[in-house]
Structures are given as structure tokens and as C-alpha cells.
């Protein structure tokens, strides 16, 4: 058993590219998921009863399914419907799809937490439905749901490791690939763990900082 980090420096370029792929799939998937989640939450709030029920069932079904299975359904099952996606596209879309229902739940609870009196006051001042949403509800609930959003972001960052199973060339895939080729599991797995720990720590620190920044007005 030897420990030799030269295998990491020799493959630094490939590892850096894999790191960028991890960041890209994570952030692109999350941003799409946030937008889809906001849309679902808004539809549940303003859509009629049947739509609400339908979305509820959709949310429960997606939440009951492992991310890996969703990935398999889209990537391997998609071609049955003519849905042929590259591994990377499928990965980003799956992260967006999977996270959208969790984000929707977070947004929904955020909307519910803004006091009703404010909506009534806004209505009295002649604000339209959309203006109310954009000017009154959204800014306040964003402050309230920030911790939950960042928690979800760290979870998604870890889910990107699963994309290695459908051959997306991200960190886990590339580093374990190097490990099996050169039989240097200790070094590659160590770097892999450190990379994820760093990403998660930076994200949660950024979350706490932002929480503090936007939360200042609440303390006044």
C-alpha cells in the first residue's frame, strides 16, 4: 500500500474538467429546478382544485422515487418515446426534474408564511395579483426560505455523483476511472471526498452569509 499523489497531478487537467462538469450539472440543474419549482408552487396556489390535486399526486410520486431510478427512466427509458438525450443533458434535466418538486414544496411553505394581512393591505392599495406576488410575497418569502433552499442545493450537489452511473464525465466518474485504471484507489478517493466536502462547505457558508445579509431587516 503506497500513497503517491503524483497520479493526481499527472491527471490534473482531466480532474479539473470533471470538476467543472460537476459544477455545471449541479448549478444548471438547480437553476432549472428552482424555476420549475416556482412555477409548480404558483400553479398550486392559483390553479383550481383539480390542478392542485394533480400536482399534489405528481409531487408525491416524484418524491417517492429514488433519483437513480428517475435517471434510468429518462436516460434509458426515454428512447422508447423518441426522447434521445446525451448523458449530460439527461443529467441536468433529471436534477431539474427531481429538485423541482422539493423546491415547489419549499416555495409553497414560504408563500404560506407571509401574513395574510399584508395581502389584504396590498389589495386595498390597488395592487394586482401579479404585483402582489412579485412585490409583496416573493421578496419576503425568499428571506424565509433561504436556509431550506441552500440545504436543498447541498443535497443536489451530492446527487450529481449519481450521474456517474449514466456515464456523465463528472468528478466521481473520472476519479474512480483513474483509480481503476492505475489501481490508485486511496489517492483518487481521498481527492474525491475532499472535493465534495469543499463544495458542500463553501455552499453552506455562502448560505449562512446570505441568510445573515438579507435577514438584517428582520432584526430591526
Q: Interface with other proteins by CB under 8 A: which residues?
A: 1, 60-61, 63-70, 72-73, 76-81, 158-162, 164-165, 172, 176, 179, 185-186, 189, 192-193, 196-197, 200-201
Report in angstroms the alpha-carbon separations of 53 from 50, 59, 98, 118. Answer: 5, 10, 19, 27
Which C-beta is closer to other proteins: that of 28 or that of 189? Answer: 189
Cβ 197 to other proteins, closest distance in Å? Answer: 4
Q: Does residue 12 contact residue 195 with C-beta atoms inside 8 Å?
A: no
Which C-beta is closer to other proteins: that of 80 or that of 219? Answer: 80
Give the ranges where 65-184 is alpha helix by DSSP (H): 67-75, 87-113, 116-124, 129-131, 138-159, 171-182
Which C-beta is closer to other proteins: that of 1 or that of 12? Answer: 1
Which C-beta is closer to other proteins: that of 70 or that of 92? Answer: 70
Which C-beta is closer to other proteins: that of 79 or that of 128? Answer: 79
Q: Does residue 173 contact residue 117 with C-beta atoms inside 8 Å?
A: no
Cβ 176 to other proteins, closest distance in Å? Answer: 6
Cβ 201 to other proteins, closest distance in Å? Answer: 7
Cβ 164 to other proteins, closest distance in Å? Answer: 7
Q: Does residue 122 contact residue 148 with C-beta atoms inside 8 Å?
A: no
Which C-beta is closer to other proteins: that of 122 or that of 179? Answer: 179
Q: Which of 164, 158, 160, 168 is nearest to 176 (CA)?
A: 164
Return the C-alpha torsion angle 116, 118, 121, 127, nearest 10. -100
Which C-beta is closer to other proteins: that of 73 or that of 206? Answer: 73
Cβ 18 to other proteins, closest distance in Å? Answer: 13
Report in angstroms the alpha-carbon separations of 21 from 7, 29, 108, 199. Answer: 20, 12, 31, 13
Residue 44's CB: how many other CB atoms inside 10 A? 20
Rounded Cα distance between 98 and 101, Å, is 6
Cβ 167 to other proteins, closest distance in Å? Answer: 13
Cβ 47 to other proteins, closest distance in Å? Answer: 22
Amino acid at each position: 500500500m503506497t500513497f503517491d499523489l503524483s497520479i493526481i497531478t499527472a491527471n490534473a487537467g482531466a480532474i479539473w474538467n470533471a470538476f467543472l462538469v460537476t459544477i455545471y450539472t449541479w448549478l444548471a440543474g438547480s437553476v432549472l429546478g428552482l424555476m420549475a419549482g416556482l412555477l409548480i408552487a404558483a400553479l398550486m396556489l392559483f390553479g383550481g382544485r383539480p390542478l392542485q390535486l394533480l400536482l399534489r399526486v405528481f409531487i408525491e410520486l416524484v418524491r417517492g422515487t429514488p433519483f437513480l431510478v428517475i435517471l434510468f427512466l429518462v436516460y434509458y427509458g426515454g428512447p422508447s418515446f423518441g426522447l434521445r438525450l446525451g448523458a449530460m443533458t439527461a443529467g441536468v434535466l433529471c436534477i431539474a426534474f427531481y429538485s423541482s418538486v422539493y423546491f415547489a414544496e419549499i416555495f409553497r411553505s414560504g408563500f404560506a408564511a407571509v401574513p395574510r394581512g399584508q395581502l389584504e393591505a396590498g389589495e386595498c392599495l390597488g395592487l394586482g395579483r401579479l404585483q402582489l406576488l412579485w412585490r409583496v410575497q416573493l421578496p419576503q418569502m425568499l428571506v424565509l426560505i433561504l436556509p431550506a433552499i441552500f440545504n436543498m442545493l447541498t443535497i443536489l450537489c451530492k446527487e450529481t455523483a449519481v450521474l456517474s452511473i449514466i456515464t456523465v464525465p463528472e468528478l466521481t466518474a473520472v476519479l474512480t476511472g483513474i483509480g481503476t485504471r492505475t489501481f490508485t484507489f486511496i489517492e483518487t478517493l481521498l481527492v474525491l471526498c475532499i472535493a465534495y466536502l469543499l463544495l458542500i462547505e463553501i455552499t453552506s457558508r455562502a448560505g449562512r452569509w446570505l441568510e445573515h445579509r438579507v435577514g438584517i431587516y428582520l432584526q430591526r
